[in-house]
Structure 1
């Protein structure tokens, strides 16, 4: 059964005439007649009553035309829906965002993107950079912001942020007045780190091990405000991106003597079909002030 046969049958039902249907469809009468006959053969039921001068639908034809009309209505809705997606009048993006990026950079990105594309919706998944990578590689997210500390052969990336990691200490801490701190001086301090899987945590732990110690981790959380509050109360010390740390005044943030950096970038799966909405998001980042490096 072909779509064209259904189209011809619908026009015959509308005009009650093969001649007028052929004229409307700009085809020959024989083409319409043959299409209807083949349709009736396939259904093994007569659709047209040819016993009178004017064609009319049989009982079977009346049932079938309703279903054909419903099918064409759904098809037209589908075409309109696809056009809306193509013209960026509609669409949803599944975006993965790490906690630190979600707390300061992503709201600015989101506001700018929504200004340009108000009809596109973003479903935000706040997870660790490591887990976002996994979801992207599995094709379960459209796009994500990940740490570029370890490249992935399965992902395309576009760098958008390169931030220094600083240590946050209580105001009364004995090291609070230093301009920089060597990480070995923090050997006896209780550490407040992100949960396992966060690259911030991984970088800090690797740096500590380079200097011959494993820190005592007193708290692991992905909540930045919990980290800051715990530092203020003297529970321990934490490590945040400088842009985030500088926003607090009830603790001090100090650079490490050997600076550590986190580079974040937009990422999407290689060789995967990119919807118009995903392409729009990538192009928005690439053409905005956020991106500062060509795609890898």
Structure 2
């Protein structure tokens, strides 16, 4: 069996669906089914059962799926080590980024980095900063980009700091804020605590939340539509100069801000591709 056979088992275990596995691997369904049968014959074990509930892995299949993950990790590490021996910047760079960074910053980063190192491939995981922090801790990714002051035992580079603002298409009277319609969005726990604490220090009644959406950029669009105000990081508003922005302050008059960090394990820099990307990000402009 070759690496692609193990990748078939691994992907099928994740997807639990022949059609989706074929799409993910760019293999037609009949070809994939035939190849899976050949793998089962070669191993002398039935890997999956297919019924009305879709693909179900047999006990042997469960074992092989676990080993497939381990073997694919080994294959990847071997490739990375060989590239490293040759002092060559190539291979797959595994990144974890918060949702905001994946939309507003990451595309330009990757495009600029690829111009310098065209043989590098990228595997990107997106999610909330808490999730990215955990992926980096488990070494499921090489480098993570998070927003907020999460505990991190390894290397931690401050990239930039931005203000938190009340954003509205109309001027805002802060004294009347509890009576105005607000738009909220699902976000990291630390960010929510930051804004909730700011509110609790100033108002005795809860905000008048009229709309809750799943992402910050959707929230911004709701503000632009005039549905209400929102509390947003200033970088969300770079391309909307016509929006009124009221920077938040702590009770002692300091700006309320959020920091964005690059995190990674020091030993990861032994890989040429990781070291090159870390150095690239340290030199990159952000605002």
Name the TM tier (shorter chain): 0.5 to 0.7
Aligned to 1:240: 232
Match of 2:217 in 1: 225
Equivalences for 1:263-282 in 2 at 5 Å?
263-269=259-265, 274-282=270-278
In the aligned structure 1, how far is the partner of 2:131 from the partner of 2:80?
32
Specify the SS of the correspondent of 2:82.
Answer: helix
Aligned pairs for 1:62-211 within 5 A = 82-86=81-85, 87-147=87-147, 149-169=148-168, 171=169, 173=170, 176=171, 182=174, 185-211=176-202
Asked whether the 8 Å contact 1:129–1:199 carries over to 2, the reply is no
TM-score, normalising length from structure 1? Answer: 0.59
Structure number with larger C-alpha Rg: 1
1:289 Cα deviation from its structure 2 partner? 4.3
Query: What RMSD, in angstroms, separates the aligned Cα atoms of the two structures?
Result: 3.0
TM-score scaled to structure 2, two decimals?
0.60
User: 1:231-290: per-residue Cα shift (whole Å, max 9, x none)?
Assistant: 123333222222321312564333235431111011113566752211211122224445
Counterpart position of 1:15: none
Deviation at 1:90, TM superposition (A): 2.5
Q: Deviation digits for residues 58-109 of structure 1, max 9, x if unmatched?
A: xxxxxxxxxxxxxxxxxxxx98874335534531122111122233233332
Q: Is the CA contact (8 Å cut-off) linking 2:187 and 2:215 kept in structure 1?
A: no
Q: What is the rounded CA distance, in whole Å, between the counterparts of 1:81 and 1:156 in structure 2?
A: 21
| SS of match in other structure, 2:227 | coil
Deviation of 1:145 (Å): 0.7
| Residue 71 (structure 2) aligns with | none
Structure 1 distance, partners of 2:179, 2:201, is 16
Which residue of 2 is the match for residue 65 of structure 1?
Answer: none
CA contact (8 A) 1:154 1:270 kept: no
Q: Distance in 1 between matches of 2:79 and 2:97?
A: 32
Length, aligned pairs only: 205
Residue 246 (structure 2) aligns with: 254
SS at match of 1:150: coil
